[in-house]
Structure 1
Amino acid sequence: MESKKEEGQDFSNICAVLQILGAKWAFLVIAELSKGPRRFKQLHRDVAIIKTQSLTDVLRHLEQNGIVLRKVFPTVPVSVEYSLTEKGRDFQLALKEMDKWAAKWGNSSS
């Protein structure tokens, strides 16, 4: 006889991931950084839909959760570059699968 946990799926791992990636604009920033490292201004131009403060907030959130690496260059003025960590790059496969699902079912009401 199966236990309750075996009967239903335990989605605690997915919930933990969604707490990290559920930040507004997180998916868009990860997708853009998957193309390569970006300086803040360049990233902001590439994702122009995101307001400056919101982009700052999502980058901090993703950095705190080990998805994004922030690298400061001692130039005048200081340059900051953002890139995906190994953890962030590893998420790209999941993003591609989600994109496939959205392409198949995204506009469907059933």
Structure 2
Amino acid sequence: MAADTADRRASVERHNESACSVVQAIDRIGTPWRLNVVHALDGGEQRFNELKAATDARSKTLSDALDALVENDIVDRRMEEAAPVAVYYALTPKGRELLDVLDELDEWARRWEGESSAT
């Protein structure tokens, strides 16, 4: 049984090699909260509470999303240490380019909205 599973996994990997970069990209940005943050930052740099209000996310959820986006170089985190300490978030060039891709995906989704999955 384990051999069957390993063979199946190897087969899937061989057939999906061309999709690997897409799968990795979706893994980096593929949660709704991360996408909401990216869209919220389209207007420019924002502080944590501004993003919280813009996305309606809970603090932990937003913090996790921001951590992942910063780790993947989609969002930049800047800290001003003057009292009071202020942390700002902004899209990196990679993040701004991602917005273009998401706009194209939005166009595709709207074009096919309402289509039956059987067609």
TM-score interval w.r.t. the shorter chain? 0.7 to 0.9
1:104 corresponds to which of 100, 111, 115:
111
* Aligned CA-pair RMSD: 1.7
Q: 1:14: which partner in 2? A: 22
Which structure is higher in RCO with an 8 Å CA cutoff and minimum separation 6? 1
Separation in structure 2 between the aligned mates of residue 35 and residue 63 of structure 1, nearest angstrom: 18
Moved more, 88-97 or 9-18: 9-18
How many matched pairs?
103
The normalised TM-score by structure 1 is 0.85
Q: 1:84: which partner in 2? A: 91
List 4+ stretches of structure 1 deviating above 3 A.
none
The normalised TM-score by structure 2 is 0.79
- Where structure 2 has 5 or more consecutive residues not aligned to the other structure, the ranges are 1-14
2:53 corresponds to which of 24, 45, 66:
45
Displacement of 1:19: 1.2
Q: Which has the higher helix share?
A: 2
1:25 corresponds to which of 33, 38, 48:
33
Displacement of 1:101: 1.2
Which residue identity lines up with residue 28 of structure 2 in the other structure? I
Q: Does 1:36 align with 2:41?
A: no
Which residues of 2 match residues 56-75 of structure 1 at below 5 A? 56-75=63-82
Q: Which protein is bigger by CA-based radius of gyration?
A: 2
What fraction of aligned residue pairs are identical, expressed as a percent?
32
Displacement of 1:109: 2.5
Q: 1:3: which partner in 2? A: none
Displacement of 1:26: 1.1
Displacement of 1:107: 3.3
1:51-77 CA deviation, whole Å, 9 max, x = no partner?
110000000000001000000001222
